[in-house]
Structure 1
Amino acid sequence: MTTENRTDRELWDDARGGDGGAFGLLFDRHGRAVYNHCFRLVGSWAAAEDLTQAVFLLAWRKRARVRMTNDSAMPWLLSVATNVVRSHHRSMTRWLRNARRLPSQDVPDHADDVAGRIDDERRMVELLAAVRRLPRNQQEALALCVWSGVPYAEAAAVLGIAEVSVRARVSKARARLRDQFTPPVVTLTTTEEVPR
């Protein structure tokens, strides 16, 4: 059987035995999806790269203790990614809290003068701000199903809930985001006649 025809479970079993090549094939198959999932949760290309590395490093370290029950490693990897991002958010919150305690410096920050931010990243930050206003359960369902393209059934397995609950969360999240990004209709009324 060629490596392309092997299931993730077969590759994972080999990786559990220490086969780095099999683990590398899993990375080749799912690295981009994990990276995109991380980016959609943090809104930064650089942070997404670091988080993707952390996900696969953690997966490698845990390989001996994790048994693959599906033929696809994707749900488990996205679950690990979600947890790594949560940990990242907690760390950043602590770091920001501690940084605010430091006295401010009068030295101008050259980063403030950097022009030409990547437009995709700016738009993603705006969207993430809106997404972060959603309840966490809707955020996670949206990130898995809409952004990462995970089928509802697999997302349900990742989140540990029923498929119908995943569908409801995605639907509610879409409706709330639609309300936030759809410009309001303004009706102007006047008592004066419009000149012709």
Structure 2
Amino acid sequence: MPARSLSAVPDDGGGGKSTPEQLMERVARADEPAFAELYDAFSARVFGLARRVVRDPSQAEDVAQEVFLEIWRRATRFDAKKGSATAWILTLTHARSVDRVRSAQAALERDTKVASRSTERDVDTVVETVESNIERTNVRRCLSTLTELQRESVGLAYYSGYTYAEVARVLGAPLPTIKTRLRDGLIRLRDCLGVNS
């Protein structure tokens, strides 16, 4: 597949178009035309990422709709100092897609358990839930120890499925810098989580 530019909206170089960050600023002020422009710029990428994660096209459409609803509601929380609008939108898309997959898996597991009238004790389920929550908390804590570039790079490469070259384009950083940040970030995560190499 040929590489394509990852810039969602052309820069406002006199052509009347706004950057994603400018659009987010306007959306935060409930500017509907800005939201429409943001939607036009990102809808295909949001749907594409959701489709890669959830696989089912109708589920991906639902996820995309939820993402844009959340962008509209949470635009005031976007902070350009913490990262690009593109990274924020794609991270949000990935998170909602994973939530949808987990929800579907949980529903399937519940149905399977009810159907088979499993003899598994409730205590085992509680222990698994507690362990899973502890793992998530530890990962979040360790991610917070990374630099912003490391955190964005890891998120895009390992949660959103971008290649290193795509991560470099999205973040506007040289490829060698991204590779170094990813390597350093993963080493830091490994050490923080106490994973043996």
So what's the TM-score if we normalise by structure 2?
Answer: 0.54
- 2:65 is aligned with what amino acid? Q
| Pick aligned residue for 1:25 from 37, 43, 57 | 37
1:60 deviates by 1.1
- 1:33 is aligned with what amino acid? R
1:12 deviates by 1.3
1:56 deviates by 1.0
5+ residue gaps, structure 2: 1-11, 117-153, 185-197
- Does 2:73 align with 1:57? no
The alignment-based identity, stated in percent, is: 23
Q: 1:167–1:152: structure 2 CA closer, same or farther, 3 Å change rule?
A: farther
1:4 deviates by 4.3
Q: Could you tell me which residue of structure 2 aligns to residue 82 of structure 1?
A: 94
- 2:90 is aligned with what amino acid? L
| Pick aligned residue for 1:100 from 112, 128, 138 | 112
What is the alpha-carbon distance in structure 1 between the residues aligned to residue 74 and residue 155 of structure 2?
28
What is the alpha-carbon distance in structure 2 between the residues aligned to residue 27 and residue 138 of structure 1?
22
Q: 1:139–1:21: structure 2 CA closer, same or farther, 3 Å change rule?
A: closer
What is the 5 A alignment of 1:171-186? none
1:96 deviates by 0.9
Between Structure 1 and Structure 2, which shows a larger proportion of helix residues? Answer: 2
Q: Could you tell me which residue of structure 1 aligns to residue 56 of structure 2?
A: 44
What is the alpha-carbon distance in structure 2 between the residues aligned to residue 139 and residue 65 of structure 1?
20
Moved >4 Å (runs of 4+): 1-4, 137-140, 165-168
| Pick aligned residue for 2:85 from 73, 89, 96 | 73
Let me know the Cα RMSD of the aligned residues: 3.6
1:102 deviates by 3.7
Q: Could you tell me which residue of structure 2 aligns to residue 145 of structure 1?
A: 162
Contact 2:84 2:171 in 1 (8 A): no
5+ residue gaps, structure 1: 105-136, 169-196
SS of the counterpart of 2:30? coil
SS of the counterpart of 1:151? helix
Which is higher, the Rg of structure 1 or of structure 2? 1
Contact 1:153 1:163 in 2 (8 A): no
Q: 1:57–1:167: structure 2 CA closer, same or farther, 3 Å change rule?
A: farther
What is the alpha-carbon distance in structure 2 between the residues aligned to residue 144 and residue 154 of structure 1?
13
